[in-house]
């Protein structure tokens, strides 16, 4: 081994040890992480506000089509949000809450898909409404997603980061 090689290896090892000891700047990563979620949340909010729920005008068929389309749009927007959330790599301090949010979001999306499937057989707006009431198990899934969202927001607050998530509560 050449004498020049030893100091180079030792220097490289020292840099690696120092970098590992510092663990990166988790606080900055946490700020960036929550800022990215806020951007996604704002997009989610804007897109859901823009959903056309049909306004009650037109024929029964128009109302039925609008009802299905509004639920499908909500499911699609939520699915996009959850998929985007899942692409983020959370800092360790938020990892559990992040995974809970993704899991709860995926469950909620699946409940929307299941609801749409059950509603597909409706031939009238009355039947659609009846099926919606009878087969709507979104409530518990919505609550789990809201709780997971609030837990994620709590991690931000505990670390001195202010967020304005649309947790629905």
Would 72 be classed as within a structural domain?
yes
Round to whole Å and give the CA distance between 33 and 49. Answer: 24
Round to whole Å and give the CA distance between 6 and 128. Answer: 76
What average pLDDT does the structure give for the chain? 84
What is the reported pLDDT for 155?
97
Would 32 be classed as within a structural domain?
yes
Give the structural domain span for 151.
Answer: 25-158
The torsion region of residue 124 among left (phi > 0), alpha (psi -120 to 50) and beta comes to beta
Would 1 be classed as within a structural domain?
no
pLDDT tens, position by position, 60-75: 888 888 999 999 999 9
What is the reported pLDDT for 63?
87
- pLDDT, mean of residues 46-54: 88
What is the reported pLDDT for 159?
96
Would 137 be classed as within a structural domain?
yes
pTM: 0.79
Would 19 be classed as within a structural domain?
no
Would 15 be classed as within a structural domain?
no
Would 42 be classed as within a structural domain?
yes
**Token digits for 127?**
């039947």
Would 20 be classed as within a structural domain?
no
Would you place residue 38 in the very low, low, confident or very high pLDDT band (cuts 50, 70, 90)?
very high
When divided into structural domains, the chain yields a total of 1
Instruction: Work out the end-to-end distance of the chain between its first and last CA atoms, rounded to an integer number of angstroms.
Output: 65
Among 168, 166, 64, 80, CA closest to 116? 64
pLDDT tens, position by position, 68-110: 999 999 999 999 999 999 999 999 999 999 999 999 999 999 9
Q: Which residues lie closer than 8 Å to 44 by C-beta, 6 or more apart?
A: 77, 78, 80, 81, 166
pLDDT tens, position by position, 113-146: 999 999 988 988 899 999 889 878 899 999 999 9
Cβ neighbourhood burial of 84 (10 Å; 0-12, 13-18, 19+) = middle
Q: Which residues lie closer than 8 Å to 51 by C-beta, 6 or more apart?
A: 70, 73, 74, 77
């Amino acid at each position: 081994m050449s004498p020049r090689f030893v100091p180079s290896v030792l220097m490289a090892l020292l840099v690696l040890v120092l970098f590992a000891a510092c663990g990166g700047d988790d606080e900055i990563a946490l700020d960036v992480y929550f800022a990215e979620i806020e951007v996604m949340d704002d997009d989610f909010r804007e897109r859901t506000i823009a959903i056309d729920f049909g306004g009650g005008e037109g024929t029964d068929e128009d109302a039925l089509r609008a009802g299905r389309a509004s639920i499908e749009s909500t499911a699609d927007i939520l699915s996009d949000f959850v998929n985007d959330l899942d692409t983020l790599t959370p800092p360790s301090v938020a990892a559990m809450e992040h995974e809970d949010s993704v899991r709860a979001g995926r469950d909620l999306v699946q409940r929307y898909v299941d609801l749409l499937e059950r509603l597909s057989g409706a031939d009238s707006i009355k039947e659609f409404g009846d099926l919606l009431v009878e087969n709507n198990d979104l409530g518990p899934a919505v609550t789990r997603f809201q709780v997971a969202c609030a837990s994620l927001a709590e991690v931000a607050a505990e670390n001195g980061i202010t967020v304005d998530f649309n947790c629905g509560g």
